[in-house]
Chains A and B, each alone.
Chain A
Amino acid sequence: MRINRREFIQISGAAAAGLALSSCAGKGGMFSPARDQAKMLQIQDAKETTTICPYCAVGCGAIVHTAKTGDKRAINIEGDPGHVINRGTLCSKGAALRQLSENSERITQPLYRAPYAKEWKKVSWDWALTEIAKRVKTTRDATFEARNAKGQVVNRTMGIASVGSAALDNEECWTYQALMRAIGVVYIEHQARI
């Protein structure tokens, strides 16, 4: 006769004890998992923001959970079940979206390598943005064409091209291209793949 463990517990009257144990097996209880998972509690109290995955032209919807308190950073990103394209699903790239912002490998300060310099050096955001604006303005003004060879109004610059990032979402792409068009850039590219 084979008596399994469950039957044995019943026989030995330990069932009540087992029940008592399982009721305190939740988070923070004495039987917390090997890695404590307070995540569910975190996202239940998080702010939800919808976004579009930047990685390819399918355009899947995702929900970003950000902490309402503390550093207010993203704590979870998963597919948006209400989104018509993906109905909550995400591929491996989409499932890794959170690493766009939450990643210790990220470079968080602008780096500058001067012409002919071998090394990158850290610069301030203020310096970097001012310098970029200055150089864009100079190049744009020097290469601006109000009319083409046929005399048609074009208001463009052929001296600047833009290669957008593969990590920009829908809204960021819109803002970016609006800025580029405003200054007359016509070579506007985005790195979305697939």
Chain B
Amino acid sequence: MSKSFFVDTTLCTACRGCQVACKQWHDLPAEKTENRGTYQNPADLSFDTYKLVRMREEVIGGQLRWLFFPDQCRHCLEAPCLETAGDPAAIYYDEPSGAVIYTAATKNLDAAEIIESCPYNIPRKAADGTLAKCDMCYDRVAAGMQPACVKTCPTGAMNFGERAEMLDLAQKRLAVIKRTHREAMLLDPDDIRVVFMVAYKPGLYHDHAVASNTGSGISRQVALRRMLRPLKNLVSQLA
């Protein structure tokens, strides 16, 4: 049974417990930060930061709203990064959980191409070209535990479980929030494993809250690679 997240941003208080718990579990180093006039820190995801609570101040209906968006890899059901890489030694699906996993072999990929293929602008590269992002704490999940970000969440904004249960929970919460927030919606629920619910227009929260290439399908580059792959594989087998 595959897993999914449901992220209810209406419950998020931006305590950043998820962000720190993620660093804690993965033993990721701190980043040098500076006061940029926002509580959002660090400024962006990085090779050392897989989870980031994005914060925006927006005036909606004449009222100031502070919008929180705990950003992370969406673990796409059909991941464009995985398709683009075409190399299971570098990017593969962890079968039991459905997590999209990056390995040390991502160093051999064209990092810019992989990053560009992501509809949510998630992967980040190290100085040596290795790529990293959220791994769904698939080691914890395999042991029957919740991902670190979900376990630590004090408000119930982060949820994790069987995909069907999460989609069910998402629909229930959406029905409740819709009563007071007409624009509330689930973001790309049919395509990804990390389903966010927002109360206002998703673009207000984050530029990449929803897939950037929805409707346009896969890029020409990826399509070309797919067409050539059988040939490439055949050649490498013969070699």
Contact = CB atoms under 8 A, between A and B. Distances in A.
A81 B153 CA distance: 12
Interface residues of B, number: 43
A34 B140 contact: no
B21 A35 contact: no
A73 to B, nearest CB: 13
Given A33-B135, A34-B132, A78-B152, A44 B21 contact: no
A65 B2 CA distance: 29
Interface string B75-106: 00010001100101100111100000111111
A90 to B, nearest CB: 5
Contacts of B15: 91-92
A37 B83 contact: no
Contacts of A91: 15-17, 152, 154
B233 interface: yes
Given A91-B17, A92-B17, A5 B139 contact: no
A96 B24 contact: yes
A3 B103 CA distance: 26
Nearest to B14: A92
Nearest to A103: B30
Contacts, number: 109
Interface residues of A, number: 38
Interface stretch (A23-31, A133-141, A164-172, A184-192): A23-31
A75 to B, nearest CB: 9
Interface of A: 3-6, 8, 12, 14, 18, 21-22, 25, 27, 30-35, 37, 39-40, 44, 76-79, 81, 86, 88-96, 98
Interface of B: 15-17, 19-21, 24-27, 78, 82-83, 86, 88-89, 92-95, 101-106, 130-132, 135, 139-140, 142-143, 148, 151-154, 226, 229-230, 233
